[in-house]
Chains A and B, each alone.
Chain A
């Protein structure tokens, strides 16, 4: 059994968690198609230390984990609020 430490619930079996993708910067509203392609499809997919979204399914809690993908070790986990301190403003709307 592999253990992941949830910032909210403490150490749990990794089967309780779902992987949620790489942590990326959200493109600014109105950006061009190439930026969206990069955000939606393209992956860093790094063999090394990565920063990713993870989700604790039973408590519906999203957080960030840093892992080494070469050794399958979890280096640290922390709440998303440690990184994202400001609300995203979507009011700019879509581009013309």
Chain B
């Protein structure tokens, strides 16, 4: 072996430090305990440490970091929602995403592609126009493009009239992007750990310690895990899919139904599709990853299960429509398939903020729209935990809205029938 190489290998810089520190023992008490080590939980720990100097923080993860829905979505980032509350919120997220690679000093492969939501009916065109106007009013790049212009912008699609749902136009959102979702989780995790937060993987929360007054739950004081009990100042649950089960430990019910959302990727193809193409009425969305794979998703499953199995029904339903949009896809092989368990709320908007239990906060109901919100959720959760006040931006998403009959009606959400 050349001497130079041996010297380099044996030098003090090796082995390279791990991105996430090795597993450590649980401390007796933490200022903040975050249940769930996905993107949202890790981002919350990251901003708590970076922006507020709160580092006596534990992130408890049942499995491994980013192994849930953070690593199971189709990685689309956009802000062209329908309600002003939603648009403002997701816009902050998109802006944070743009600087994230610099913040982390890690390539998250953020790639602006342009996002097209296809319209196949007059009523869809009307909704697109409505969305474009709300978006523009809120300062978001968003416009309605009709078929001829669309054909120039995305010539890869099948514009034939001889299909079940011909394309009439699309809502065009130039900042629409995709990113490497695993890197987002790792970046936040590594950044939080470097700044002093501790991340405990394979640590499952089995119960909560809650004080009671007159028989009703009052304040959270600790968390039981499979590795022992810890005292906690504040606790936040960031557990998509299992939100209802964790809230049950805290003693309250949620307006959430856990329903799987399935996705798949094709074999790698030459780069041919720059845009992100979505159709709400066909229940398909497709983009081409930097590896060349077509990343495809459909609508949520017709009924709820706590499983991440994949079904033939899903693929049949997806491909029936996908072959209308991109007829050549019949020649392409599928490479991988998977599912995530999503929290579906009745108004397609998240649930964030305070809960009936003091010092216990919630970040749930992220249905099919959680990945794109990761940075803003982390930032605002951190602000809420540090100041004890719910930031204005996330106030509309309070759990209380269901008790006040003030639902949001976010019809800009993907993968769900409206």
- A contact set with B: CB distance below 8 Å: 1-2, 14-15, 18-19, 33-34, 37-38, 41-47, 69-72
In the complex, how many residues of chain B place their beta carbon closer than 8 angstroms to a beta carbon of chain A? 23
Residue of chain B at shortest CB distance from A44: B253
B52 at the interface (CB under 8 A from A): no
Q: Is the interface of B mostly helix, strand, loop or mixed?
A: loop
Flag if B306 contacts A47 (CB, 8 Å): yes
**Complex contacts, B405 vs chain A, CB 8 Å:** 33, 37
Known: A41-B346, A70-B306. A15 touches B257 (CB 8 A): no
Contact assessment for B307 and A72 in the assembled complex, using a CB-CB cutoff below 8 Å: yes
Count of A-B residue pairs with CB < 8 Å: 60
Chain B positions 241 through 262: 1 when the CB is less than 8 Å from some CB of chain A, otherwise 0: 0101100000001111110000
Determine if B305 and A42 form an interchain contact, defined as CB atoms under 8 angstroms apart.
no
Identify 15 new A-B residue pairs, CB closer than 8 A, beyond the known A14-B302, A15-B302, A41-B402. A1-B312, A18-B302, A33-B403, A37-B403, A37-B405, A42-B253, A42-B402, A43-B253, A43-B256, A44-B253, A45-B258, A46-B244, A69-B304, A69-B306, A72-B309
On chain A, the residues within 8 Å of B162 by CB distance are: none
Residue of B nearest to A18 (CB): B302
Q: From residue 393 to 410 of chain B, which have CB atoms closer than 8 A to chain A? A: 402-403, 405
Partner of B257, one of A1, A37, A43, A72: A43
Using Cβ atoms and an 8 Å threshold, which residues of chain B touch A34? 403
Give the docked Cα–Cα distance between A46 and B244 (Å). 7
Q: Report the Cα distance A23→B258, complex, angstroms.
A: 16
In the complex, the answer to whether A19 meets B304 with C-beta atoms within 8 Å is: yes
Judge whether B311 is part of the interface by a CB distance below 8 angstroms: yes
Residues of B with Cβ closer than 8 Å to A?
Answer: 242, 244-245, 253-258, 302-307, 309, 311-313, 346, 402-403, 405
Partner of B242, one of A19, A42, A47: A47
Residue of B nearest to A71 (CB): B307
> Which chain B residue shows the least CB distance to A42?
B253
Taking a contact as CB atoms under 8 Å apart, the answer to whether A72 and B305 are in contact is yes
Residues of B within 8 A of A43 (CB): 244, 253-257
Cβ of B402 to closest chain A Cβ, rounded Å: 5
Query: Could you tell me the distance in whole angstroms from the C-beta of B243 to the nearest C-beta in chain A?
Result: 8
B307 & A70 in contact (Cβ 8 Å cutoff): yes
Which residue of B257, B311, B313 is within 8 Å of A45 (Cβ)?
B257
For residue B256, give the distance in angstroms from its CB to the closest CB of chain A.
Answer: 6
Bound-state Cα–Cα, A47 to B245, Å = 7
Give the docked Cα–Cα distance between A72 and B403 (Å).
31
Provide 25 A-B residue pairs closer than 8 Å at the C-beta atoms, listed in order of the A residue.
A2-B311, A14-B313, A15-B302, A15-B313, A18-B302, A19-B303, A19-B304, A33-B403, A37-B405, A41-B255, A41-B402, A42-B402, A43-B244, A43-B254, A43-B257, A44-B244, A45-B244, A45-B258, A47-B244, A47-B258, A47-B306, A69-B306, A70-B307, A72-B305, A72-B307
Give the shortest distance, in Å, between A44 (CB) and chain B (any CB): 7
A69 touches B305 (CB 8 A): yes
